[in-house]
Chain A
Amino acid sequence: MKTEYTCIICPRSCDLEVEEKDGACIVSGNRCKRGEEYGINEHLHPKRMITTTVKLEGGNSRCLPVISDGFVPKELLTDCLDYLYGITIKAPVKLHDVVAENILGTGVNVLAARDVEKG
């Protein structure tokens, strides 16, 4: 049986078909290797990036944008966000400073997405 997915890795949004054959996933419709990886992941265990903001003190703005350095399982995304909503970071901050290490044991770190000077 074939299952259809739309690849979210790049703006081309390729239409993928994933077929399970003898325990392996065969991806078609992808135009690059990243699409194949996405298709297999999406079929077996979907993953997403974390992008949100955390509370910031002592800077020019009240929010620090953050991004994960890898994908987390989709079903853990809201738990990760709830964890991040609970923490506060103090300025100054440098791009890619670690905001949360190995978040909820996923092996993924959450990093600052920009510099913030003391304000």
Chain B
Amino acid sequence: MNKTLIDVAVIGGGPAGLAAALKAKEEGLEKVVLIERDKELGGILNQCIHDGFGLIRFGKQLSGCEYSQRYIHMVRKTDIEIHTDTMVLEITPYKEVYAINQSEGVLCWQAKTVILAMGCRERTRPQVGILGTRPAGVLTAGAVQKYINVQGFKPGQKAVILGSGDIGMIMARRMTLEHMEVEGVYEVMPNLGGLRRNKVQCLDDYDIPLHLSTTVVRVHGKKRLTGVTVAKVDEKRKPISGTERYISCDLLVLSVGLIPENELSRHAGIRIHPVTKGPEVNQYMETSLPGVFAAGNVSAVFDLVDYVSKTGEIAAQGAAREIKQLKETAPQKLLPVTPGENISFTLPQCIRPEDGTITFYMRVKKSMEKLTIRLLCDGEVIKAMKLLVANPPEMVSMTVDWKKEYKGEIVMEGKEEQG
């Protein structure tokens, strides 16, 4: 079949893909193809009508729609080839991209580089294992968001929310403003899942109670949800017998985490990191398959869209560098970055030993105060950064001036100051 040769194929037209495609153009690449499976560009931001986006990228509080619209305007001004309503079926290890849509049929590109920007997907009921019947009215927070904000439907009258992640809290406010009753937010962990500002402006403002160390243990109802049973949990997250409480409701909203969407990456043979659930990447966001890059939530779930856009730009610069043959040709051994004390993961996970500025993104394992994040090379501090607070839901970023002489064991750690 006819293969069109292109410089870069960007898979996904959300914030990561938009930023990547735009940056690839700015870097002077000629044939940039942006492929999106939805009918329009923008990704999940199109249903995020609340504000709080873009403070870093645009220096302004924007709503999700405004943020994506700004990028769409910029992308539309270029000659980036956009295919919406188009589903990528396969990416081969040789960087052939197969896609399909209704007007053009099967499409195939031979890409010099590929940028994966497929984003992430919500965890659903089977992934958290709630017992009971299977009635209508058990929805993910993102699905509820789409029904209310895009399609204009009210998915229930009285809701219980499981999970205190940002989307769950934002939907608690949104449903209240749409004159639905929100009985409460239940969180299995002993701490809040999302940002504290969202607890203040989404729950406290509307007197919506938050129940920590409590989960939904059973779903009731035949055709339609009639209620749920909640129970307190112990430190091992096991329900405590005798603490069960029945709540009558017709909607259970699940906000129980996000998982990077990597079917295409796995099929291409790209190595997936066990903690981030995204491709392992180096400082150019390049995956284990040379010439294939990852951007945004496909590589690890970020809490801020500004960081998502930033990784899209890094990936595009990596792709441009590859095409312009700036990369040193001799294969080099990658240095692994090991998460040390109190760090659950870093991005990138490995480093090509070359001079340059590297932005590390990481998550801490527990809430800490007055801490120092240190990047060590064989025990010697390369960079240290003091923070007043760090919480697991909030990604920490640290920019490091990397030298190719750094060799040896690279460890990232976070420690609270003693005393």
Which A residues lie at the B interface, using CB under 8 A? 5-13, 31, 48-49, 51-53, 55, 60-63, 65-67, 74, 78, 81, 95, 113-115
- Residues of chain B lying within 8 A (CB to CB) of residue A11: 52, 55, 195, 197, 303-304, 394
Chain A binder among B145-153, B277-285, B357-365 = B145-153
A53–B61 Cα distance when bound, in Å, is 18
Given A49-B51, A113-B66: A74 touches B205 (CB 8 Å cut-off): yes
Residue of B nearest to A74 (CB): B205
Could you list 5 examples of A-B contacts with CB < 8 Å? Answer: A5-B200, A11-B55, A11-B394, A61-B150, A67-B62
Is the beta-carbon distance between B197 and A62 smaller than 8 angstroms?
A: no
Write out, one digit per residue, whether chain B residues 180-205 have a CB within 8 A of any chain A CB (1) or not (0): 00000000000000011111110001
Given A8-B197, A11-B394: A67 touches B150 (CB 8 Å cut-off): no
Apart from A9-B61, A63-B150, what are 11 other A-B pairs with CB-CB below 8 Å?
A6-B197, A6-B199, A8-B197, A8-B198, A49-B61, A52-B49, A52-B177, A53-B149, A65-B63, A65-B65, A115-B69
Number of residues in B with C-beta < 8 Å to the partner? 35
Is the beta-carbon distance between B149 and A63 smaller than 8 angstroms?
A: yes
Is the beta-carbon distance between B201 and A48 smaller than 8 angstroms?
A: yes
Contact among B49, B61, B388 for A113, CB-based, below 8 A: B49
7 nearest CB pairs, A to B: A62-B152, A13-B196, A65-B49, A8-B197, A13-B197, A113-B65, A114-B65
Which B residues lie at the A interface, using CB under 8 A? 39-40, 46, 49-52, 55, 61-63, 65-66, 68-69, 72-73, 148-152, 177, 195-201, 205, 303-304, 388, 394
Query: In the complex, how many residue pairs between chain A and chain B have their CB atoms under 8 Å apart?
Result: 81
Is the beta-carbon distance between B150 and A95 smaller than 8 angstroms?
A: no
- Residues of chain B lying within 8 A (CB to CB) of residue A114: 46, 65-66, 68-69
Residue of A nearest to B306 (CB): A11
- Residues of chain B lying within 8 A (CB to CB) of residue A113: 49, 63, 65-66, 69
Is the beta-carbon distance between B50 and A51 smaller than 8 angstroms?
A: yes
- Residues of chain A lying within 8 A (CB to CB) of residue B200: 5-6, 8, 13
A5–B152 Cα distance when bound, in Å, is 34
Residue of B nearest to A10 (CB): B55
Given A6-B200, A8-B200, A74-B205: A95 touches B66 (CB 8 Å cut-off): yes
- Residues of chain B lying within 8 A (CB to CB) of residue A7: 197
Q: How far is the CB of B142 from chain A (nearest CB, A)?
A: 16
Is the beta-carbon distance between A48 and B205 smaller than 8 angstroms?
A: yes
Contact among A12, A51, A55, A115 for B63, CB-based, below 8 A: A51
Contact among A6, A65, A74 for B149, CB-based, below 8 A: A65
Is the beta-carbon distance between A63 and B151 smaller than 8 angstroms?
A: yes
Contact among A8, A13, A63, A67 for B152, CB-based, below 8 A: A63
